[in-house]
Amino acid sequence: MSTSYTAGEIWLVVLAAGLGTFALRLSFVLLFGRVDEVPDRVVGLLRFVPAAVLAALVAPAFLALSADPASAPVAVSRLGLGLDFETPKLVAGAVAALVAWRTENVLATIGVGMVALWVVQALG
């Protein structure tokens, strides 16, 4: 579908979205650069951000909630919900999780995970 935006409107979107996004990125980098010391309570909270955000990034790549338990592979019918997933990705993810846990090595995790995905896809 082709837009009927004028060139000026397109540039407005680019600049406004870009400046706004930059402000979001810069926000705390500037703020924490100005305070003498980041309060301990804040540091104590921020300590949890990597674990929480990475888990929230990873989990939905493998599992999804489904409102249709009849068609989902795993059904929790009492709640009217199902757990939906693609078997090759879930299997590859489980294998990769094992490698990640044992080695904490990013390259090994990706290598084993991708090969596992291709193998399961080829078998399926």
Partner 1 sequence: MRKAEPRESTGEEPVSDGRDDFLAGARAVAPILLGIAPFGLVAGAAGVNAGLSVVQTVAMSVVVFAGASQLAAIDLVSRDAPVVVAVATALVINLRLVMYSASIAPHFRRFSAGAKWLAAYVLTDHAYALSVTEYGETTPETRSRWWYYFGAAATLWVVWQVTTVLGALLGARVPDGLSLEFAVPLTFMALLFHALDDRATAVAAVVGALVGVVAAPLPFNFGLVAGALVGVVAGAALELRRGTFPTVEGGSAVEDRPETDGGAAEHTNGGESR
Per CB under 8 A, which of residues 7..66 are in contact with partner 1? Answer: 7, 9-22, 24-34, 38, 40-41, 43-65
CB of 69 vs partner 1, minimal distance in Å: 15
79 counts as binding partner 1 under rule CB under 8 A: no
38 versus 77: smaller Cβ distance to partner 1: 38
CB of 42 vs partner 1, minimal distance in Å: 8
| Helix (H), strand (E) at residue 71 | none
Cα–Cα distance, 121 to 124 (Å, whole number): 5
123 counts as binding partner 1 under rule CB under 8 A: no
Size of the residue set binding partner 1 (CB under 8 A): 77
Interacting residue with partner 1 among 80, 91, 96, 124 (CB under 8 A): 96
Interacting residue with partner 1 among 77, 79, 100, 124 (CB under 8 A): 100
Alpha-carbon separation of residue 100 from 7, 49, 103, 109 (angstroms): 47, 19, 5, 5
Phi and psi at residue 13, in whole multiples of 5°? Answer: -60, -45
b/e map 83-105, b = 16+ CB within 10 Å: ebbbebbebbbebbeebbeeeee
